[in-house]
Amino acid sequence: MTITTKYDFQELVFLKHDPAQEMWMITAFEARADGGLVYKLLQGAKESWHLECEISREKDELKAVL
């Protein structure tokens, strides 16, 4: 089985819903039985799992200012 991901290991990304627009690093992928794919993100000691639609390569400057 081959899994194609939009983002790569150790890529620096932003969470679209994060008002602070802090940078996160991708540290893992998990393929789900239902065909879904989630990414494990790391920021310092914080870890969390997110769907691809929640992640962006680009910082949302408007959210960061507000």
Give the list of residues 6+ apart from residue 13 with CB closer than 8 angstroms, or none: 7, 23, 24, 25, 26, 41, 55, 56, 57
Domain boundaries, the chain: 12-65
pLDDT at 35 over 90: no
Answer whether CATH 2.40.50 is correct for domain 12-65. Answer: yes
Task: Return the sign of the alpha-carbon dihedral for residues 44, 47, 52, 39.
Answer: positive
Q: What number is the average pLDDT over the span 39-63?
A: 95
pTM: 0.87
Token readout for 45 is 């000691």
CA distance 55 to 13: 7
Percent of the chain with pLDDT over 90: 82
pLDDT at 66 over 70: no
